[in-house]
Amino acid sequence: MEIQLNINNGFTWFVKNNVFFKGYFYLENNFYNQEKALELLLKTEDFKDLLENINGVFTIIKKGEHNTVVITDVTRSFPVFYTQTNNSWCISDDIYVLKRKKTNLKFNKNAELEFLASNHVHGKKILLDGIYQTQSSEYIEFSSNKIKEQFFYFSYSTRKQNNKPVLELKKACFSAFENSFKRCLNSLRNNQIIVPLSSGLDSRLIAVFLKKHNYKNVLCYTYGKKDSFEINYSKKTAEALNFKWVFIEYTDSIIGDFLETDQFKQYIKYAGKLTSMPNLQEYFAVHFLKENNFLEKDAVFIPGYAGDILGGSEYKFYNNQLNNNLTEFIFKNKMTNFVFSDEQKNKTLQDIEHNLISFDAHYQQKIPETVLDDYNIKERIAKYIFNSSSFYTFFGYKTRFPFWDKELLCFFKELPIAYKRNKSFFDAVLNDYYFKEHNVNFEDNTEVKKNSFQQLKSILKTFLPTFIKKKRLEKRDWNNYKIITLKMLEQLKKRNLTVFRLYKDYNEIITQWYLYLVKNKL
Is residue 213 within 8 Å of residue 468, measured between CB atoms?
no
**Strand blocks (E) in 17-93:** 19-27, 30-33, 55-63, 68-72, 81-85, 88-92
Tell me which of 233 and 445 has the higher pLDDT: 233
The 10 Å Cβ neighbour count of residue 507 is 18
Residue 474 confidence (pLDDT): 86
The DSSP secondary-structure symbol of 341 reads: -
**pLDDT number for residue 144:** 83
- The average pLDDT across 34-46 equals 95
Model confidence band, residue 450 (pLDDT cutoffs 50, 70, 90): very low
- Closest of 391, 369, 185, 400 to residue 272, by C-alpha: 391
Task: State residue 24 phi and psi, 5-degree precision.
Answer: -160, 160
pLDDT of residue 52: 87
Please indicate whether residue 72 or residue 322 has the higher confidence score (pLDDT): 72
pTM, two decimals, is 0.94
- Closest to 152 (Cα-Cα) out of 185, 124, 191: 124
pLDDT at site 371: 95
Summarize pLDDT for 451-467 with one digit per residue, the tens: 444 444 444 455 566 77
pLDDT digits (tens, 9 = 90+) for 224-242: 999 888 899 999 999 999 9
Higher pLDDT, 128 or 459: 128
Task: Give the contacts of 358 (CB within 8 A, at least 6 positions apart).
Answer: 123, 152
State how far the Cα of 406 lies from the Cα of 390, in Å rounded to an integer.
22
In this prediction, residue 230 carries a pLDDT of: 85
Ramachandran sector of residue 10 (left: φ over 0; alpha: ψ -120 to 50; beta: rest): left
Residue 417, CA distances (Å) to 163, 202, 241, 421 in order: 10, 20, 33, 7
Q: What is the pLDDT of residue 217?
A: 95
> In this predicted model, what pLDDT tens digit does every residue of 475-511 receive, in sequence order?
888 888 999 999 999 999 999 999 999 999 999 999 9
Helices (H) and strands (E) in the chain, counts: 22, 16
Query: Residue 310, exposed/middle/buried by CB under 10 A (0-12, 13-18, 19+)?
Result: buried
Query: Which residues of 50-204 form beta strands (DSSP E)?
Result: 55-63, 68-72, 81-85, 88-92, 132-133, 138-142, 147-152, 193-196
User: Is residue 521 within 8 Å of 497, Cβ to Cβ?
Assistant: yes
Name the β-bridge partners of 3.
91
Q: CA 105, CA 130: separation in Å to the nearest integer?
A: 8
pLDDT digits (tens, 9 = 90+) for 291-321: 999 999 999 999 999 899 999 998 877 766 6
How many whole angstroms separate alpha carbon 251 and alpha carbon 224?
A: 8
Amino acid 468: pLDDT: 86
Residue scoring higher pLDDT (516 or 144):
516
Q: pLDDT category, 522, cuts 50, 70, 90? A: very high
Pairwise CA distance, residues 9 & 271, whole Å: 12
pLDDT of residue 68: 96
Q: What letter does residue 259 receive in the DSSP assignment? A: G
Average pLDDT for the chain:
92
Q: How much is the average pLDDT of 329-336?
A: 94
Cβ pair 119, 276 in contact under 8 A: yes
Which pLDDT value is given to residue 427? 95
Q: Give the pLDDT band of residue 415 (cuts 50, 70, 90).
A: very high
Domains of the chain, by residue range, sit at 2-152, 166-310+388-446
Q: What value does the mean pLDDT take over residues 19-36?
A: 96
Fold of 2-152: Glutamine Phosphoribosylpyrophosphate, subunit 1, domain 1 (3.60.20)
Grouping H, G, I as helix, E, B as strand and the rest as coil, residue 302 is coil
* Percentage of residues of the chain with pLDDT beyond 90: 83
Dihedral sign for Cα atoms in the order 213, 238, 231, 448: positive
Any idea what DSSP says for residue 382?
I
C-alpha 401/C-alpha 405 separation (Å) is 7
Over 90: is that where the pLDDT of 325 sits? no
For 251, other C-beta atoms within 10 Å of its C-beta total 13
Q: How far apart are CA 70 and CA 422, in angstroms?
A: 38
Confirm if 427 and 421 have CB atoms less than 8 A apart. no
Radius of gyration for the chain, computed over Cα atoms and rounded to the nearest angstrom: 22
Distance of alpha carbon 369 from alpha carbon 364, whole angstroms: 11
CA torsion 8→12→17→18, rounded to 10°?
-50
Q: What is the pLDDT of residues 251-282, one digit of tens each?
A: 999 999 999 999 999 999 999 999 999 999 89
Q: What percent of the chain has pLDDT over 70?
A: 94
Residue 184 clears pLDDT 50, i.e. is over it: yes
Tell me the per-residue pLDDT of 198-228, one tens digit each, with 9 for 90 and over. Answer: 999 999 999 999 999 999 999 999 999 998 8
166-310+388-446 fold: Rossmann fold (3.40.50)
